[in-house]
């Protein structure tokens, strides 16, 4: 049992973890770079430790500084969140070697699932269906022979990466050599390893993942599926559960869940993890990879199952048993998540760092906004530009879609560009509203979704409402004698930020 936990992350995921720690009665330690000194996660924690300059390579990615922060504060456990060092078995092992509890899986399981090619081999041995392909190749000629055998189109993928980097779709043999070199170069740049592998490209698939949770006593269950098919450049943009795919019947999801549990048990996996699958147009599903951490989109699973997955991870890390079986895991209703980014849809989604002048977050029944920002917050160019994860829950999908459309129309951000117009346009698309989409949806509908960076016709009322709210707020400030001056820490002098009302963490 431990009493103090260090959160080795930043932004909205650090805030989300810190809230659960407080509910559990555990003391918390935040870490922050120079750029994050006034960030919400720093203010929410009981203590906070500076770990270096703004670049993540000089701060959040330095395991020795994180472990030193544990020593300085007496933290006995570390929650890595997602990103940064969350899937690095070396960091998990370093925590163990330092006498700390790593709130995540065993390093051996992370190693087994960390390499996509090694994971494919383990899954094949465990009887888990995988996409046909070749695990490794010594030359482009070997890849070409395998591509001809399984048939084009094929997909090249980085063996030790993710997030769409090092991936290339190859539709004909004459394009293979050039795509191979580009994939290797990108994989080396992003992951320090140029190994790539080849697999059959599944045409118009759904990207469906299964949340699993296991304890250290061999008990494993799944928490149903999440449909993550709305993607841009292989990066997820919107996630929902249950999947609206016609083929995603309760029987098929139960089968996918059983396969995911089998995959987790094959590597002795415990804690929270996610098995990702491709679901074909004809109903076959294939294992892609396992993410050995908490997923960005975990809130939608929490909403439909009323389960705090972070709390479950803490219980498991303390050696507790799950205490329930698969039949006890129930779900109700429908949940959707939109990732709200500081990026400009009109300029190919380029990041839009800067100061948030106005921030008004939607509220009401069934609304959840996991955020790492506030009014006056400076969105840094050093990190992922995620502002928040806007989630809704309703009794069924039509009502969830309507609720998300309403929530997006109320969301007001000024001072920076955001992808809110894109989301509003998406939720006005008839095919999306019907649930008739796949991983290529955004590319096929980009003209309708990205008309000059504005919402397409049909959702003008929603944008008008948001613009009206923003103008009303500006008029209100003007009527009081102009905008309030800002403190040096970036907050308005009025002190209305909720993060200022809660008191400051003890900075180290």
Q: What is the Cα–Cα distance from 435 to 245, expressed in whole angstroms?
A: 6
With the CA atoms of 190, 193, 194 and 195 taken in that order, what torsion angle do they form, in degrees rounded to the nearest 10? Answer: -120
> What stretch of H or E contains 239?
strand 235-241
Other Cβ atoms within 10 Å of 507 Cβ, number? 14
| Three-state secondary-structure class, residue 275 | strand
Cβ(152)–Cβ(198) under 8 Å? no
Q: What is the Cα–Cα distance from 437 to 206, expressed in whole angstroms?
A: 8
Cβ(91)–Cβ(274) under 8 Å? no
Q: Which among 324, 332, 327, 212 is positioned nearest to 267, based on CA atoms?
A: 212
Other Cβ atoms within 10 Å of 141 Cβ, number? 10
Structure tokens at 229: 């098919």
Cβ(314)–Cβ(26) under 8 Å? yes
84 secondary structure, DSSP code: T
**Is 293 one of the catalytic residues?**
yes
Distance of CA 189 to the CA centre of its chain: 22
Strands 412-414 and 358-360: antiparallel
Catalytic residue among 168, 293, 368, 397: 293
Residues 6+ positions from 67 with CB-CB distance below 8 Å: 94, 95, 98, 100
Annotate 97-158 with DSSP letters as a single string: HTTPEESS--HHHHHHHHSHHHHHHHHHHTT--B-SEES--SSHHHHHHHHHHH-SSEEEEE
Q: What is the Cα–Cα distance from 455 to 448, expressed in whole angstroms?
A: 8
Other Cβ atoms within 10 Å of 152 Cβ, number? 15
Which active-site residues does the annotation give? 293
């Amino acid at each position: 049992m431990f009493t103090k936990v260090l959160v080795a992350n930043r932004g909205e995921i650090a805030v989300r973890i810190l809230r659960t720690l407080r509910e559990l009665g555990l003391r918390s330690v935040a870490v922050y770079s120079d750029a994050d000194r006034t960030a919400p996660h720093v203010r929410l924690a009981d203590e906070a430790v500076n770990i270096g300059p703004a670049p993540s390579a000089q701060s959040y990615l330095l395991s020795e500084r994180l472990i030193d922060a544990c020593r300085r504060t007496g933290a006995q456990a570390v929650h890595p969140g997602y990103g940064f060092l969350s899937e690095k078995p070396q960091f998990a092992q370093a925590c163990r070697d330092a006498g700390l509890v790593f709130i995540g899986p065993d390093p051996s399981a992370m190693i087994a699932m960390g390499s996509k090619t090694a994971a494919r081999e383990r899954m094949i041995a465990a009887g888990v269906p995988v996409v046909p392909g070749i695990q490794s190749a010594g030359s482009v000629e070997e890849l070409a022979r395998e591509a001809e055998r399984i048939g084009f189109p094929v997909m090249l993928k980085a063996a030790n990466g993710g997030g769409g980097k090092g991936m290339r779709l190859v539709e004909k043999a004459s394009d293979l050599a050039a795509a191979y070199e580009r994939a290797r170069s990108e994989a080396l740049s992003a992951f320090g390893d140029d190994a790539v592998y080849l697999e059959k490209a599944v045409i118009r698939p759904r990207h469906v993942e299964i949340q699993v949770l296991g304890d250290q006593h061999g008990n494993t269950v799944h928490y149903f599926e999440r449909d993550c098919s709305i993607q841009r450049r292989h990066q997820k943009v919107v996630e929902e559960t249950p999947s609206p795919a016609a083929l995603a019947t309760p029987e098929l999801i139960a089968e996918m869940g059983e396969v995911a549990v089998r995959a987790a048990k094959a590597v002795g996996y415990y804690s929270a993890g996610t098995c990702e699958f491709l679901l074909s147009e004809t109903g076959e599903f294939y294992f892609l990879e396992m993410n050995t951490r908490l997923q960005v989109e975990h809130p939608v699973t929490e909403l439909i199952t009323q389960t705090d997955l972070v709390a479950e991870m803490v219980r498991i890390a303390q050696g507790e048993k799950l205490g329930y079986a698969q039949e006890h895991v129930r779900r109700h209703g429908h949940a959707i998540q939109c990732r709200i980014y500081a990026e400009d849809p009109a300029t190919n989604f380029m990041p839009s760092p800067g100061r948030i002048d106005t921030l008004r977050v939607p509220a009401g029944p069934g609304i959840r906004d996991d955020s790492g920002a506030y009014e006056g917050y400076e969105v840094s160019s050093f990190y992922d530009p995620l502002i928040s994860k806007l989630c809704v829950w309703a009794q069924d999908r039509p009502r969830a879609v309507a609720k998300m459309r309403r929530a997006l129309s109320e969301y007001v951000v000024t001072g920076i560009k955001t992808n809110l117009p894109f989301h509003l346009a998406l939720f006005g698309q008839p095919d999306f509203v019907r649930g008739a989409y796949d991983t290529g949806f955004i590319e096929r509908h980009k003209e309708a979704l990205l008309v000059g960076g504005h919402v397409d016709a049909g959702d003008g009322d929603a944008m008008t409402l948001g613009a009206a709210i923003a103008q009303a707020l500006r008029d209100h400030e003007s009527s009081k004698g102009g905008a309030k001056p800002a403190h040096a820490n970036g907050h308005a002098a009025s002190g209305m930020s909720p993060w200022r009302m809660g008191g400051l963490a003890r900075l180290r």
